[in-house]
């Protein structure tokens, strides 16, 4: 199941670092990136995050796949901005032989700059969140959220959701095997019918499973409050490191 | 400790799963439920555990109608091991699953860890703590379910075929473990099972379910004393009993009684040998 | 060059053949991910505004959750399951033949019909957060905006449509279909507003909004219909196989289920 | 018919489930796989059925590497009954589930109906056709799975603990049914099982898996001839064998051989009786 970030993380100090400190750093940096008025700072953050991910042993291919879509969007926004907004024309593409206005494309200077800013912002912000995702196992993350006073109901739903996502993927695979084993998917029409049965069955099973989970859990003392992973005491050292880091970044941000 | 009076249960699709069930489980007993597939064992255990509502009749736990108890009050006293382990396991890893009960009971981290370790040792799953529960083999998952309840230390355990899917040695050990819990810790146990051969060795009392009704009850000896109509209730004699029964009735060798266990059979055979000699 | 410059300036915001073609292809190609506004697109003030808009709805969802799960312990797992369904549906790339590209439906229509709009907002919030954190799909800073477009607008549009149609005795399958379509389109309208206002900088809002909206149409039209079909399929499936659930969730009355 | 050569399988989480498995299943054989929980039986059956890819070594079906065959080619010849019935049943009702295979084989409605009816009769589930599969009892679901494959009439059946969860009579009848299929219709059968007592009565050949390796193979007599190290592989002797073994070694009664079935045991005991008399 290579869908989720945490399956790649290796033993690395950043992974073991207190999740609350990590969250604080990421949120602070995110705010800085978003409110920054230039291009350099976000790019600097993006470069840092990239290096960190590589150091954590995330395969480049995975990293690239994860980045691909935001990166592409950034390019689109850039194009949108520089071709379609702005006053100040930088240059114009047009087919050399014709002065036919429909075939011209204008690049605006102010639009380009605007676009670069947004693209930079996206890159910086995305890298931060991706690095956080790779460096934080899901359960840790939940524990961190609960420390930040995110309502318990929300966290519980998130844990259930996470579990059921995997259940769906597994179930889909299981049912698919079961169908193949009885000659499902042999041919177009049969394939479609098999697929219909599969999705229907997935949903019904999922719903049944919620009932069973609830039974199994109440049976073992669950009364609506999930016991969460123990919170380890805040360590001064880790928070100090985080603070220093935030201040340092803040200083660069000011420049 | 737990008694069931005039219990009827009908599923939403109209299946009458239980009819007129009366049962009285006393503290410290080790009771078995036997019966054909679809005879209602699982349904009975689930109503006894308070999971199925909407039955007719009464289920009384320590003097109080179970419908008047909160889930918390019920599950402090007793727990049920489900028939299908996949219905019971829900946490990501084996450790987390087994720890769920103790955590809910409010123990501190150390106590939880100890309890989990002890429970996993009992079911011989040490070393797999970090494994995802869904990556365990079927028998391992069955064991994991049992560990999840052992870690809570209930007064009463209901088990739905705890040994199904276990390897032969595991089956025997599991029964030994339950026997120890029953004898040494005084845990009251009710289990559904299909293992006729193990029953007489371990159980105090048996109830036979057939089409939602209890048709017989008593000690293993009492229940297995009428081998002729076993087939109606889809049961058979334990292999040992079958052997002696055949020797007695088909080969006309004299036996005073039909033994149910290996130990008894040895004694009977030796006795017959002695008698024949002289 | 300079003679051209003035000419270009005058037709700056007109839609030329070449640039509208480019616009359409660009948006179409990336449309796969357009349902979720990506991390960092929105500047700080817009991000904050959408957060402020989404929070009351999420809070109300939590309040409803607490009330409902007090009665039924299996409600929380069920809501979790809905979140997983929304997660999977909104990760699912669907080829859109008219545009020759992929996009994805939202799934909020289904969850709104089944668990109600308030909790559906919560469901969407959870699904979006998991996607943002672990798949870089959507984002943390744009979480508020995404909750608002997909969760709030999608859920309420879907739910209100469904209820309104059902109250005038429209067939279950048809009502669910239209609810799904409208939930999808409402989401996209909102996303377009958010995008246009977020990236417009100093340029005027409306022209950019129209451009984005128009560019979405070729994918969103069929996609909305697909979403409608999915919603309808799911509701009918439950109606056929687990009417008890629909009764429990208040979608059906007990008498109707018996039929 | 199906042979496995130097098979290794490792799961994604690093568990080595199979190591150096060599196995040759000939047409018409009735073969059993025994082994402790987690020893790799399910993994082996799933690779043999072509469901698990990514193994090392070769699985050859009728002379062709299974990796070169399409699903259609494989599943026309053989089918697998899964260990957990919930993994296998997916259609809304029992009828639809059992009919899934025959429908995919392209039979017309009448033929499908006949096949389903016949299969359900074999597993004794007549009358439950319209019931939702998820509302069946565990044992009924297990039977349903088997019916789903019987209805397809394969040349070769792989069964992962087909009798687990069946009532004692059902277990015996299921084994009888498989034996009949094997003898009369020439169906090749490979089954994983924990039922040591049934094995010697029905199986031609046994393989013992232990920690992913085949440690023994042969006829039941060969495999059970070293009772001392059974414990290492979490097995035990059949009850009958255990009784005679104890009589022989602890009570010093003379037996020429250790019988494995009731019939053999009767003969041995009678023989010993005769000898003692004179
Ligand atoms: N959820 C359900 N809805 C409708 N009918 C059900 C449901 N569960 C079980 N039944 C039916 O009720 C009867 C009793 O089922 P139950 O599961 O109690 O049997 P069991 O004795 O546990 O059988 P097994 O030995 O196979 O586990 C069966 O006929 C079964 O088909
Ligand atoms: N999907 C999986 N991912 C990782 N490990 C697995 C997976 N499935 C099984 N295993 C491991 O592989 C080993 C063999 O499992 P397998 O299911 O083949 O055992 P088995 O012999 O069928 O046991 P049982 O008698 O309990 O059914 C076990 O140690 C198990 O924990
Ligand atoms: Mg049962
Ligand atoms: Mg297995």
Determine the residue of B41, B52, B83, B160 to mutate for testing ligand 1's pocket, defined as the one with the most ligand atoms within 8 A of the Cβ atom: B41
Residue B259 sits in the same domain as residue B161: no
Distances (CA, A) of A212 to A234, B9, B102, C123: 37, 19, 20, 20
Residue B59 sits in the same domain as residue B163: yes
- B93 lies in some domain: no
> Domain range holding C217?
8-254
pLDDT above 80: residue A255: no
Q: Is D138 in CB contact (< 8 Å) with chain A?
A: no
CA atoms within 13 A on the CB side of A59: 8
Q: Is D39 in the pocket of ligand 2 (CB under 6 A)?
A: yes
CA distance C111 to A92: 49
Hey, CA dihedral for A45, A46, A52, A55, is it positive or negative? negative
For C165-185, letters b (16+ CB in 10 Å) and e give bbeeebebeebbbbbbbbbbb
The vertex-D197 CA angle with D194 and D200, nearest 5°, equals 100
Nearest Cα to Cα of residue D67 among D14, D150, D154, D5 = D5
The vertex-C214 CA angle with C213 and C219, nearest 5°, equals 90
Q: What is the CA radius of gyration of chain B?
A: 20
CB A189 within 8 A of CB C226: no
Which residues lie below 8 Å from residue D75, measured CB to CB, with a gap of 6+?
Answer: A180, A181, A182, A183, A186
Averaged pLDDT for residues B52-68: 92
In the structure, ligand 4 is a single-atom ion and the residues with CB under 5 Å from it are B 137-138; D 41-42, 83
Residue B163 sits in the same domain as residue B263: no
- C198 lies in some domain: yes
State pLDDT tens for residues D118-140. 999 999 999 999 999 989 999 99
CA distance C240 to C227: 20
pLDDT of the residue at D85: 92
CA A231, distance to chain mean position in Å, is 24
- C259 lies in some domain: no
Nearest Cα to Cα of residue A161 among C85, D36, B182 = C85
Determine the residue of B9, B11, B142 to mutate for testing ligand 1's pocket, defined as the one with the most ligand atoms within 8 A of the Cβ atom: B11
pLDDT of the residue at C101: 47
State pLDDT tens for residues C180-204. 999 988 988 888 888 778 777 667 7
State pLDDT tens for residues A188-206. 777 888 888 888 888 888 9
Which residues lie below 8 Å from residue D131, measured CB to CB, with a gap of 6+?
Answer: B13, B15, D93, D94
- B105 lies in some domain: no
- D182 lies in some domain: no
- D122 lies in some domain: no
Chain A closest CA to C133's CA: distance in Å? 5
- Phi, psi dihedrals of residue C223, rounded to the nearest 5°: -65, -40
pLDDT of the residue at A106: 74
pLDDT above 50: residue A112: yes
pLDDT above 90: residue B94: yes
The vertex-A169 CA angle with A165 and A173, nearest 5°, equals 165
Comparing CB atoms, the residue among D142, D194, D239 nearest residue B262 is D239
- C190 lies in some domain: yes
CA distance D145 to D97: 9
Give the mean pLDDT of chain A: 80
CA distance D141 to D125: 10
Q: How many domains does chain D have?
A: 2
pLDDT range class, residue D141, cuts 50, 70, 90:
very high
pLDDT above 70: residue D47: yes
CB A122 within 8 A of CB A70: yes
Q: Which residues of A touch C40 (CB under 8 A)?
A: 33-34, 42, 70, 118, 121-126
State pLDDT tens for residues D62-89. 999 999 998 888 999 999 999 999 999 9
Residue B210 sits in the same domain as residue B276: no
Averaged pLDDT for residues B47-59: 92
Q: Is B151 in CB contact (< 8 Å) with chain A?
A: no
Residue D212 sits in the same domain as residue D255: no
- Provide the 10 A C-beta neighbour count for residue C259: 6
Give the mean pLDDT of chain D: 89
Q: What percent of chain C has pLDDT over 90?
A: 33
Residue B52 sits in the same domain as residue B10: yes
pLDDT above 80: residue D154: yes
Q: Is C138 helix (H, G, I), strand (E, B) or coil?
A: coil
CA distance A224 to C32: 38
pLDDT range class, residue B207, cuts 50, 70, 90:
very high
> Domain range holding D262?
238-278
CA distance B276 to D63: 60
The interface pTM score, or ipTM, of the predicted complex is 0.85
DSSP code, position C149: I
For residue D34, the surrounding DSSP H or E stretch is: strand D30-35
Averaged pLDDT for residues A114-135: 86
Distances (CA, A) of C72 to A65, A223, C75, C213, C235: 41, 10, 6, 43, 22
Distances (CA, A) of A82 to A70, A111, C17, C231: 18, 4, 17, 39
- D140 lies in some domain: no
Averaged pLDDT for residues A21-28: 86
Averaged pLDDT for residues C133-156: 88
Residue B200 sits in the same domain as residue B265: no
CA distance D103 to A190: 9
Distances (CA, A) of B243 to B228, B238, B273, C127, D220: 15, 9, 16, 62, 19
pLDDT above 80: residue A30: yes
CATH code: domain of residue D49 = 3.40.50.300
Residue extents of the structural domains in chain A: 1-136+227-255, 151-224
CA distance D275 to C159: 87
- C1 lies in some domain: no
Q: Is D40 in the pocket of ligand 2 (CB under 6 A)?
A: yes
- C248 lies in some domain: yes
CB A198 within 8 A of CB A111: no
CA distance A222 to A215: 9
- B213 lies in some domain: yes
Q: How many domains does chain C have?
A: 1
Nearest Cα to Cα of residue D201 among D164, D166, D176 = D176
B165: exposed, middle or buried (C-beta count within 10 Å: 0-12, 13-18, 19+)? buried
pLDDT of the residue at D152: 93
D189 beta partners: D30, D157
Q: Give the distance (Å) from ligand 2 centre to CA of residue D240.
A: 30
- B152 lies in some domain: no
Q: How much is the pTM? A: 0.87
pLDDT above 70: residue C170: yes
């Amino acid at each position: 199941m290579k869908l989720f970030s945490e399956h790649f993380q290796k033993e690395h100090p950043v992974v073991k670092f207190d999740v609350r400190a990590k969250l604080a750093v990421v949120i602070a940096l995110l705010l800085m990136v978003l409110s920054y008025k230039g291009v350099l700072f976000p790019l600097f953050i993006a470069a840092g995050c990239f290096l960190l991910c590589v150091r954590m042993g995330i395969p480049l291919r995975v990293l690239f796949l994860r980045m691909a879509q935001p990166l592409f969007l950034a390019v689109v926004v850039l194009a949108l901005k520089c071709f379609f907004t702005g006053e100040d024309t930088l240059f114009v593409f047009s087919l050399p032989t014709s002065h036919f206005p429909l075939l011209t494309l204008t690049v605006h200077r102010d639009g380009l700059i605007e676009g670069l800013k947004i693209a930079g912002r996206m890159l910086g912000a995305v890298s931060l969140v991706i690095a956080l995702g790779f460096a934080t196992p899901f359960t840790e993350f939940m524990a961190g959220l609960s420390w930040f006073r995110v309502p318990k109901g929300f966290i519980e739903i998130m844990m259930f959701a996470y579990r059921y996502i995997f259940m769906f993927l597994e179930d889909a695979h299981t049912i698919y095997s079961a169908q193949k084993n009885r000659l499902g998917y042999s041919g177009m029409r049969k394939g479609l019918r098999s697929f219909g049965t599969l999705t229907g069955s997935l949903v019904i099973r999922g719903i049944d499973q919620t009932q069973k989970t609830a039974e199994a859990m109440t049976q073992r003392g669950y009364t609506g409050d999930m016991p969460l992973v123990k919170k380890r005491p805040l360590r001064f050292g880790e928070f100090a490191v985080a603070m220093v880091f935030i201040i340092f970044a803040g200083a660069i941000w000011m420049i | 400790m737990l008694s069931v009076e005039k219990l009827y249960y009908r599923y939403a699709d109209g299946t009458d799963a239980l009819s007129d069930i009366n049962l009285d489980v006393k503290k410290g007993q080790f009771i078995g439920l036997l019966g054909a597939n679809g005879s209602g064992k699982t349904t009975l255990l689930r109503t006894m555990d308070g999971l199925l509502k909407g039955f007719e009749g009464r289920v009384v736990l320590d003097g109080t109608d179970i419908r008047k108890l909160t889930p918390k009050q019920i599950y402090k006293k007793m727990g049920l091991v489900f028939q299908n382990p996949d219905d019971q396991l829900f946490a990501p890893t084996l450790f987390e699953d087994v720890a769920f009960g103790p955590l809910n009971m409010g123990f501190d981290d150390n106590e939880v860890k100890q309890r989990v370790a002890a429970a996993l040792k009992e079911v011989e799953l040490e070393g797999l703590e970090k494994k995802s529960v869904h990556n365990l083999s079927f028998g391992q998952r069955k064991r994991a379910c049992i560990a999840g309840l052992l870690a809570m230390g209930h007064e009463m355990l209901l088990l739905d075929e705890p040994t199904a899917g276990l390897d032969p040695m595991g089956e025997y050990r599991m029964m030994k473990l339950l026997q120890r819990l029953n004898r040494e810790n005084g845990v009251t146990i009710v289990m559904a099972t299909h293992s006729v051969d193990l029953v007489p060795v371990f159980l105090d009392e048996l109830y036979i379910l057939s089409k939602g009704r209890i048709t017989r009850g008593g000690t293993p000896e009492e229940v297995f004393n009428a081998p002729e109509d076993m087939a109606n209730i889809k049961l058979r004699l334990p292999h040992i009993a079958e052997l002696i029964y055949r020797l007695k009735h088909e080969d006309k060798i004299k036996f005073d009684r039909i033994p149910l266990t290996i130990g008894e059979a040895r004694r009977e055979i030796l006795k017959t040998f002695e008698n024949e000699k002289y | 060059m300079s003679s051209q410059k003035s000419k270009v300036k005058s037709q700056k915001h007109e839609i030329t053949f070449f640039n509208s073609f480019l616009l359409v292809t660009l948006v179409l190609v990336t449309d796969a991910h357009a349902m979720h506004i990506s991390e960092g697109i929105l500047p700080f003030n817009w991000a904050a505004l959408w957060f402020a808009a989404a929070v009351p709805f999420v809070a109300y969802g939590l309040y409803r959750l607490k009330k409902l799960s007090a009665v039924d312990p299996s409600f929380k797992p069920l809501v979790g399951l809905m979140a997983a369904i929304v997660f999977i549906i909104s990760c699912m790339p669907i080829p859109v033949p008219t545009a020759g590209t992929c996009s994805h439906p939202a799934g909020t229509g289904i969850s709104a019909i089944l668990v109600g709009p308030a909790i559906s907002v919560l469901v969407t919030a959870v699904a979006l957060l998991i996607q943002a954190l672990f798949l870089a799909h959507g984002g943390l800073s744009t979480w508020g905006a995404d909750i608002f477009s997909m969760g709030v607008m999608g859920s309420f549009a879907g739910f209100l449509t469904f209820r309104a149609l059902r109250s005038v005795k429209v067939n279950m399958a048809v009502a669910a279909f239209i609810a799904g379509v409208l939930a999808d389109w409402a989401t996209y309208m909102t996303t377009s507003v958010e995008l246009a206002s977020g990236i417009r900088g100093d340029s005027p809002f409306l022209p950019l909004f129209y451009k984005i909206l128009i560019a979405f149409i070729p994918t969103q039209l069929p996609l909305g219909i697909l979403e409608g079909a999915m919603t309808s399929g799911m509701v009918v499936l439950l109606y056929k196989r687990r009417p008890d659930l629909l009764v429990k969730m208040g979608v059906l009355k007990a008498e109707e289920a018996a039929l």
